[in-house]
Amino acid sequence: MNYEQIEEFLHKETPSETWHILHPGKISPAYSNIPICKIGDQQAYYFDFKNTLLNNNMALIKETRYTIIPPHFHKDMEMNYIYEGSCRFTINGRNIFLKKGDICILESNAVHSAEYKGVNDIVINVVFRRSFFINHFFSQVPNQGIVMHFLMDSLLQEHENNKFLIFHTSEREQFHTAFQNLVCTYFNRDQLCRELLDAYIRIVFLELLNTIYDNVLSDYSDYNDRDNDCVFQILNYIEKNCSHCTLIQTAHFFGYNPNYMSNFLKKKTGN
């Protein structure tokens, strides 16, 4: 399956989508077989991909168009990629609008729903176990550089607080290409499919790490701590000038009192 074929495949109307076109405003009959569980103070559908992930590290699913997706949560983690168009989600009570190139990684047990998607709104879900995410994402972080260490600490804290992470990759064509390769391989089911998928998901995660580093001064999460922009600039300056810069010189460069800047960095980085 090449790129042109995958585009045709993703835009092709599925039986489920045909059903929704014929039954507007109704949720799929498949939900009658999905348990509803109480989580926190609300009721939500519970998705368990136990059989899907029994012999696979991940599963890829094209999200059904022409319908809403009611509140639900997963036993495992999920990555939503807006392949084309846009979609509005509600995640743990927060309204999130994502457009082409955006990624949302959801922790297990994060309650989320999706609004109606039209013909050109293509969302790809990647489901995987939490251990797989840790081993393939955070384990690839370089073991050097105070800036990258700070970014990862901030990312972990955000993930812990919000139960989801958002990345904007629309300006990074390499990411879309890597994701296309992942999709092509998954639906091709070649001889070495498992090994190729493992390689491509690593590339996808590495491209996300590049996105974090390249775009840290932008608002890569709607709920990120604004002080992080300032901290990043200071740490980046220190990293580039570590052979000769001093606390007093660095504080003077950024217009801070040395004691204030020292305490500020300790508070934000824990060091």
The 10s digit of each residue's pLDDT in 40-69 is 889 999 999 888 888 888 999 999 999 999
CA distances from 39 to 43, 44, 92, 119, 125 (A): 6, 7, 11, 32, 22
Which pLDDT belongs to residue 217?
A: 47
**Mean predicted confidence (pLDDT) in 115-125:** 97
Mind listing the pLDDT tens digit for each residue in 139-171? Answer: 666 555 555 555 566 666 666 677 898 888 988
Return the pLDDT at 14: 97
Task: Yes or no: say if 62 and 124 are a contact pair by the CB < 8 Å rule.
Answer: yes
Nearest to 97 by CA among 106, 86, 88: 88
Residue 227: the pLDDT is 57
**Is 263 in contact with 234 (CB distance < 8 Å)?**
no
The SS3 assignment for 143 reads coil
pLDDT at 21 over 60: yes
Under 8 Å between Cβ of 153 and 270: yes
From residue 42, alpha-carbon distances to 36, 93, 111, 112 in Å are 10, 11, 9, 12
CA 81, chain centre distance (Å): 7
pLDDT of residue 248: 85
Q: Give percent of the chain with pLDDT exceeding 90.
A: 48
Q: What's the whole-number average pLDDT of the chain?
A: 84
Q: What is the pLDDT of residues 180-206, one digit of tens each?
A: 999 999 998 777 888 899 999 999 988
